[in-house]
Structures are given as structure tokens and as C-alpha cells.
Amino acid sequence: MSIETKENCESLCRKQLLDKLHKVNFCAFLTALTSEMCLEVEIMTSKGTSYSWIRYDDWRIYHISKRESAKLVEVREKLLTGNLTRADIKGTCFSGLADNEADDVDLTYLFIDFLTKQIYPGEELFCFYDECDEKYFFFSNKEQIASALEKTYSNVDTEWGSMETDDLAAWLDRYEFEGGEIPFCYIGDDE
């Protein structure tokens, strides 16, 4: 094989890798660093990758299940009046979400985005805590939360186009092998 042919093959391979990586959904790989008392977070988006260390309780991306519709109607009413208290959320999925918050936090503000969602009994619910807005955002399915997380984590450390072809292949292999999922914390009404 001539040098020119080899370069054409490598160029084609790189283009195919980039095409696939530009289509990935938001996903993260978490590794517990017990000696450092933190999580190593490697994030993949359609733009590239980022890397950081965070405290264990700073990964606040949830899949909520086992919701009691009658209690959530009460929570929704309290949110509408702006008077949501810890007593109102006791025994609901919101109780577990508020555990990381200071006692004097404005729960109405923290959960106000819940009002924007039509949630039906038996359906899944997803949410994440946005550090900038200091509140939770809620979603009806994985695709919606993945899209929002892609925007939230849009600042990447390394763009796909700046990586070597071997590194692109390694990231794509990892995405495909490890499933390219969002690692959710799971919470239910009985928390």
C-alpha cells in the first residue's frame, strides 16, 4: 500500500469516527476515588469530552420512580401558592432531593420547574440540580434530560476534532462498550 493510499484510509477512518462521535448522546463515566473522597467524572457530548473531580454528593442527576399521584397533587398546589415546606414533601420523592439542601432553602424555588411538567401516575420522572440556577429541572424522559445535560455541560475540555485518531477510536469503543448512559441516582417516594 502506498503512503498516499494509507493516508486516505486513515483520513476516511478518522472522518467516520468523528461522524459517529458527533452523534453521541450525553453520557458520563463515574469512578469513585476513595482515597481522594470524590468522584472522577468523565463526560462525553457530541462536541467532545470533559474531566473533573467532584464531591460524592455533587452528582445530582436523578431517576425518580414510585410517585404517589395524590401526594404530588398536594405538592403541586403548594408550589402554586409559593408555600412549600419540608412537611409538605415528607414521604415524597422531593424529600430525598431536599436532603442535600440547607434547612432554610426556599423549597418552592428549588422545585418550581416541576410545575412545567405534565406528570401522570406510573410515568418516570428525571431531574438534575443546576448549580448556576440553584434549582432542579424536571423531565419526562431520558432523551429530554440528556438534551438538557448536553447544553449544561457544553463546555468541553477536549473537542473531538483536536484528538488523535487512536484516541477517537478509544472513546468510541468506550461509549459503545460501556453503554453510553447517564449514571442516575435513583430515588422513590418511600425515601
Kindly list the domain boundaries of the chain, sorted by start residue: 3-188
Rounded distance, CA 132 to CA 129, Å? Answer: 9
Dihedrals phi, psi of 41, to nearest 5 degrees: -120, 120
Cell of 75: 405538592
Confidence at residue 8, expressed as pLDDT on a 0 to 100 scale = 46
Give the C-alpha separation, 174 to 17, whole Å. 13
Residues in the chain with pLDDT values less than 50 = 1-6, 8-9, 189-191
DSSP H helical ranges for the chain = 3-21, 69-81, 86-89, 93-98, 107-111, 142-152, 165-178
Euclidean distance between the first and the last CA atom of the chain, given in angstroms as a whole number: 63
Q: According to the model, what pLDDT value does residue 57 have?
A: 81
pLDDT (0 to 100) of residue 121: 64
Using DSSP bridges, classify how beta strands 125-130 and 61-65 pair: parallel, antiparallel or unpaired: antiparallel
pTM: 0.82
Sheet of strand 185-188, all strands in order from the earlier edge strand to the far edge? 135-139, 125-130, 61-65, 185-188
- Sign, CA dihedral 136-182-29-42, equals negative
Answer yes or no: are the C-beta atoms of 157 and 51 closer than 8 Å: yes
